[in-house]
Amino acid sequence: MHKVATDDRGAIGTFFKACEAALGMDRVQALAQDRMAYTDQMGFDATAHEPAGAVAPRSVEELRQVVRLANAHEVALWPVSRGKNFGYGGAAPVLAGSVVVDLSGLKRIHEIDVKRGFCVVEPGVGFYDLYDELARLGHPLWMSVPGNAWGSVAGNALERGKGPQPYGDHGAQICGLEVMLADGSLVRTGTGAMAGSKTWHLSRDTYGPAWDQMFCQSNFGIVTRLGLWLMPAPEATLSMDYALAEPGDLARGVDAIYPLRQRGLIDHDPAWVSYVGIASFVGPRRTWYEGEGLLPEEVGAQIRRQLGIGWWNAQLNFYGHEEVIRAKARVVADALEKALGPRPEPRLWRQGDDFGASHAGIPSTRDMMMIDWYGGRGGHLGFSPILPADGALAQAQFERTRARFEAAGIDYYGAFSVGGRAIISINEILYDRDDVAMAKSVPVLMNRLIEDAAREGYAEYRTHIDAMDRVAATLDYGAREGGPGAMARLNALLKDAIDPNGILAPGKQGIWPARYREGGSARVLRP
Amino acid sequence: MHKVATDDRGAIGTFFKACEAALGMDRVQALAQDRMAYTDQMGFDATAHEPAGAVAPRSVEELRQVVRLANAHEVALWPVSRGKNFGYGGAAPVLAGSVVVDLSGLKRIHEIDVKRGFCVVEPGVGFYDLYDELARLGHPLWMSVPGNAWGSVAGNALERGKGPQPYGDHGAQICGLEVMLADGSLVRTGTGAMAGSKTWHLSRDTYGPAWDQMFCQSNFGIVTRLGLWLMPAPEATLSMDYALAEPGDLARGVDAIYPLRQRGLIDHDPAWVSYVGIASFVGPRRTWYEGEGLLPEEVGAQIRRQLGIGWWNAQLNFYGHEEVIRAKARVVADALEKALGPRPEPRLWRQGDDFGASHAGIPSTRDMMMIDWYGGRGGHLGFSPILPADGALAQAQFERTRARFEAAGIDYYGAFSVGGRAIISINEILYDRDDVAMAKSVPVLMNRLIEDAAREGYAEYRTHIDAMDRVAATLDYGAREGGPGAMARLNALLKDAIDPNGILAPGKQGIWPARYREGGSARVLRP
């Protein structure tokens, strides 16, 4: 099923030895326990994506040596920033037998420009690292953070991670990259292409084609430095909570919000989160229910009553000058009154108040509690299609998805993050890895969800390493006689040009270099 | 000086004959007067960029035939949408002897989605065409238009054109392209890579690398369909005019505005426009001054008094719900009071009022009056560097630029479009093409300006076909021993992979396919 790297000639062993000579013994991790450390911590079958080991350069120069050795020995690399891409595969490579390049040692914050509102980070810089630095400066800029914020700022942005803050489309905040190409050379994108550029991280305008987004969800290079726009600290914030009582209310909730978001009256993409998601941050399922099977509806109702939440729940936040956000909140509450009910009591936060609100972009790992929902060694798997901003379509997608979850015996947990024109539907499949039935049903569920979405014309914005080929295959425009689609052909053409030896992250997002396209081998050799 | 296409074997004649057979006689224009029609109407030397002729397909299928014939006969194509890229070369190719592919016949508006706020256009759709269609629908969406709006909506966005409206960064509004590659195949970007995608023009999130910006200012493909986000019609607008009396006031003007823009309190990038620019929209220079040489300072003062304007002038516009924009305007006026003086009388527009305000995005060609400034056959040439949002740096750039203009005997005309993090400085060099001295001094001035900017670390966001190689050469990061920079090497690598015969717009933005890189020939053969 899964491709694995071929190593008939013991090339990986030679490669590791050369890396040890170049970087030092302690930078190469190729023992069995090392390999396990870089597998998908939430996968059912660790061997499916088991790497051959890892190397951990401490500098761009050391990374260059790793890349050159990989070319020389034709070794597949799988670069990770901090390896916390959980729900989508963690640190593990698509191609078993690849060598993880662990960039967590490159953790320099090159710059924080308070006036111009951006930071420049290396891949190893975590959300907590950046937060600490911003806190030291008195929070002149606010971060946007994903639900579980233990990962890399750069890595999350490059995977197009999301947060609920105004700058919450993290990939869209990227401005100016330094990238190591497969030949070990560095390129700087945007106006950074000029030595001594003064606007590298200030402007996405540039001269000629722009390449920042070529390196997102990509195996075209290894990003060594990333410029990211940050939000100027607002004078105040204002929050309003809305809840919808019934599962069938999602359509109404979406249609009420997206036009306001499109008009700029709401400052971020609010998410309608299903109640199981919120409950899973409070405690494991056994808190409310000790039985088997799906959570009974009456227990669900009890949970909602107890937590004071609806079936769907959204927080609307406003950021900025108090007079302006009060005006926005009034207009929004008026517009929502008919669809969502009376104006909730708004919560105001002002500069000088305690800096503790979740919508302020404070890193947290609280959301990871969700993996304990079923008990045992928990895990979660993300299914994340993009939908049009349209209530009826969102409702239908929810119902289709929920039915699939329930047929698989899994409690439904989904969030619909509502933008002005599109919705990202993030569904978390929660499970107990020690549950044999779940280990069987979850992969089947995932496949059904991908098929369902493709039938409706919805692509995923991101997926687990297990599903990367499958999701790539849904991009079928221009496919000829069952062959790859036009986008896959373009990606392959560019991949072969930019990485002729196919050393960079083979199979990432379904993009395989030439050497792996005609069927991979069936074996991994351990060094 | 200029490269020209080689045609030792009469290939272009054969190509034109084949195009006539495929598309019809009337779709091929290769007579001397046809060639002149596609030269740079504002250039001093029409022959420098004279095409071999033009072909004008009426459909994507006809375009495919042109592309296939160009490959077969190894003919260089120069695709233009409507050919109105004036100030940057109009319809003319970089490489003399190229064949212009005039796409103005592909003028279908595929879709206007009023609820989701976007349109989908073919390259021949002009701003007036789209405006007419939106007017027919009752202006539910507003356009952003450049100063001279006779061009193509798609072409302008692909060249990263700018307008003063909230959606004024036209390249940034692109979402979802259909592109013909050099082999005649079509690819659809973003989620359009899925056949039957429902979110092609709704989301820039996609699976894998994103390619919209690969086709901006690019010769990697021919865009045949372009999705562009449009602004939902605001309930009201509010405008405030500011003026600064002295040339030295620019720094203050910039530093006052960019933080407000960054914080979202101002809904667009306001531009500080120098008074000569505004005067040039009112009448030619002889309206005020019949003499030779630079406009005397006392005449400038008289013009400013007469027109009631400052040396620098900016309009701030607010778009949206009246309560919200009134709040924003109050906060902004308060913040600007210290730097820019007392609150100007705001002008309010409400839905139902006459739809005539310039900030509403109504296409116009009034700005083109500027080319009559000196009389004779006028012209203008754009010099457009990107600067940091920083008053002192903007002031220094202005003074350097003005001194260069004046040393060349040209009245200074510049606008600084202030974003939250960067400034686009658009300088219009106005001239009389019949003036022999200007014909000599303008190209020298342009070179000086490019050199000056590069020395400061400022890249251009766009340039004239004459200067494309020169600007590309300023992108010198990673250059080895005087060779091309890292970005030029990457562009060349990708260009050769995607267009192996080098048929698409050789030399555009300084990107040359392999066959032209080792020195072009010295001759153009006419058919």
Q: Write the DSSP assignment of B24-55 as a string of letters.
A: -GGGEE-SHHHHHHTS-TT-S-GGGG--SEEE
pLDDT category, B368, cuts 50, 70, 90?
confident
Question: Quick check: A454 and A475 in contact, CB under 8 A?
Answer: no
- What is the pLDDT confidence band of residue B46, given thresholds at 50, 70 and 90? confident
Q: How confident is the model at residue A9 (pLDDT cuts 50, 70, 90)?
A: low
What is the third-level CATH fold of A242-315+335-347+372-465? Vanillyl-alcohol Oxidase; Chain A, domain 3 (3.40.462)
Q: Give the per-residue pLDDT at A1.
A: 41
What distance in Å separates the CA atoms of residue B192 and residue B200, rounded to the nearest whole number? 4
Task: Kindly report the CATH number that applies to the domain delimited by B109-232.
Answer: 3.30.465.10
- Angle value at C-alpha A505, between A499 and A510, nearest 5 degrees: 95
B-proximal residues of A, 347-406, CB under 8 Å: 386-390, 393
**Best residue in B115, B186, B386, B451 for a mutation probing chain A (most A CBs within 10 Å):** B386
Choose the closest CB to B320 out of A213, A263, A509: A263
Contact B5, B95 (CB under 8 A): yes
Query: One-letter amino acid identity for B205?
Result: D
pLDDT band at B523 (very low <50, low <70, confident <90, very high): very low
State how far the Cα of A326 lies from the Cα of A152, in Å rounded to an integer. 34
Which residues of B are less than 8 Å from A457 in CB distance?
194, 196-199
pLDDT of residue A525 exceeding 80, the answer is no
Q: Does A218 touch chain B (CB under 8 A)?
A: yes
**Chain-chain contact of A461 with B207 (C-beta, under 8 angstroms):** yes
Reduce the DSSP state of residue B513 to 3 states and report it. coil
Q: Collapse the DSSP code of B487 into the 3-class scheme (helix H, G, I; strand E, B; otherwise coil) and give the result.
A: helix
Confidence class for position B220, pLDDT limits 50, 70, 90: very high
Name the pairing type of β-strands A422-432 and B53-55: unpaired
What are the tokens at A116? 């111009």
| CB contact (8 A) between residue B197 and residue A471 | no
Q: Could you tell me which residues are beta bridge partners of residue A353?
A: A351
A358 pLDDT tier (thresholds 50, 70, 90): low
> Cα dist. A184→A79, B12, B54, B223 in Å?
14, 42, 43, 33
Distance, in angstroms, between A247 CA and closest chain B CA? 24
Q: How sure is the predictor about A482, in pLDDT bands with cuts at 50, 70 and 90?
A: confident
Which residue among A202, A490, A497 sits closest to B421, beta carbon to beta carbon?
A202
Would you call A215 and B209 a contact, using CB atoms and an 8 Å cutoff? Answer: yes
* Tens digit of each residue's pLDDT (9 = 90 or more) over B92-133: 999 999 999 999 999 999 999 999 999 999 999 999 999 999
> What radius of gyration do chain B's Cα atoms show?
23
Report the pLDDT value the prediction gives residue B7, as an integer from 0 to 100.
56
Segment among A19-28, A311-320, A506-515, B511-520 with least mean pLDDT: B511-520
User: In the structure, what pLDDT confidence band is assigned to residue B524 with cuts at 50, 70 and 90?
Assistant: very low
Contact yes or no for A279/A307 (Cβ under 8 A):
yes
Residue listed under structure tokens 């019609």: B233
Of the residues A38, A88, A412, A431, only one is catalytic, namely: A88
- pLDDT band of A8, cuts 50, 70, 90: low
Chain B contact set for A462 (CB, 8 A): 207
CB pair distance less than 8 Å for B386 and A202: yes
Confidence of residue B440 (pLDDT cuts 50, 70, 90): very high
The 8-class DSSP code of residue A177 comes to E
Comparing CA positions, the residue from B24, B103, B117 lying closest to residue B58 is B103
Residue B373, both tokens: 């400034």
- Percent of the residues in chain A that have a pLDDT greater than 90, as a whole number: 88
Selected for mutation to probe chain A from B158, B213, B424, B463 (highest A CB count within 10 Å) is: B213
Residue of B nearest to A493 (CA): B497
Residue A85 contacts residue A132 (beta carbons within 8 Å)? no
Q: Give the phi and the psi of residue B460 in degrees, each rounded to 5.
A: -85, 150
Encode pLDDT of A404-443 as tens digits. Answer: 999 999 999 999 999 999 999 999 999 999 999 999 999 9
| Contact in structure between B70 and B444 (CB atoms under 8 Å) | no
**Identified catalytic residue from A275, A319, A461, A516:** A461
In this complex, the residue of A192, A194, A217 whose CB is nearest that of residue B207 is A217
pLDDT beyond 90 at B6: no
Which CATH architecture best describes the domain B1-103+475-527? 2-Layer Sandwich (3.30)
**DSSP secondary structure code for residue B242 in this structure:** E
Question: Which pLDDT value is given to residue A356?
Answer: 72
- Residue A10: the pLDDT is 82
Q: What does the pLDDT read at residue A4?
A: 59
Select from B185, B331, B497 the Cβ nearest to the Cβ of A323: B331
Q: Which residue has the tokens 């517009």?
A: A335
**Least confident interval from A492-501, B370-379, B493-502:** B370-379
Please check whether residue B265 is in contact with residue B166, taking contact to mean a CB–CB distance below 8 angstroms: no
In terms of C-beta density within 10 A (0-12 exposed, 13-18 middle, 19 or more buried), how is residue B26 classed? Answer: exposed
pLDDT of the residue at A5: 62
**Would you state the pLDDT for residue A523?**
31
Cβ atoms within 10 Å of A21's Cβ, excluding its own:
12
- Sort out which chain B residues have CB atoms less than 8 A from A212's CB and list them: 213
Q: What is the pLDDT of residue B355?
A: 80
**What is the rounded (10 degree) CA torsion for A210, A216, A222, A226?**
70
CB A210 within 8 A of CB B199: no
Q: How far is CA A314 from the centre of its chain?
A: 20
* Active-site annotation holds for B461: yes
The DSSP bridge pattern shows strands B99-102 and B77-80 to be parallel
- Among all chains, which residue has been given the structure tokens 């073919």? B122
CA-nearest of A228, A267, A514 to B265 is A267
A88 is known as an active-site residue: yes
Going by C-alpha positions, the residue among B306, B249, B302 that lies closest to residue B274 is B249
- pLDDT single digits (tens) A237-276: 999 999 999 999 999 999 999 999 999 999 999 999 999 9
- d(C-alpha B411, C-alpha B374), whole Å: 10
Domains in chain B: boundaries:
1-103+475-527, 109-232, 242-315+335-347+372-465
Of A214, A330, A486, nearest to B186 by CB-CB distance is A486
B422 to A202: CB separation less than 8 angstroms, yes or no? yes
The mean pLDDT value of chain A amounts to 94
For residues A131-146, give the mean pLDDT: 96
Q: If DSSP codes are grouped into helix, strand and coil, which group holds residue A521?
A: strand
> E strands along B351-490, which residues?
378-383, 386-388, 414-418, 422-432
Q: What is the pLDDT of residues A103-130, one digit of tens each?
A: 999 999 999 999 999 999 999 999 999 9
B199 vs A386: CB contact, 8 Å cut-off? Answer: yes
Does the distance separating the beta carbons of B115 and A478 come in below 8 Å? no
Q: Please state the length of chain B.
A: 527
- The arithmetic mean of pLDDT across residues B312-322, rounded, is 97
Q: Do A494 and B497 touch (CB under 8 A)?
A: yes
Beta-carbon separation of B486 and A263 below 8 A: no
Query: How does DSSP assign A60-120, residue by residue?
Result: HHHHHHHHHHHHHHT--EEEESSS--TTTTTT--SSBTPEEEE-TT---EEEEETTTTEEE
Measuring CA to CA, how many Å separate A60 from each of A56, A64, A82, A179, A185? 11, 6, 16, 10, 10
Query: In chain B, which among 156-195 make CB contacts under 8 A with chain A?
Result: 160, 169, 171-172, 181, 185-189, 191-195
Q: Closest by alpha carbon to B510, among B463, B469, B466, B451?
A: B469
On whether the CB atoms of residues A294 and A206 are closer than 8 A, the answer is no
Averaged pLDDT for residues A473-478: 98
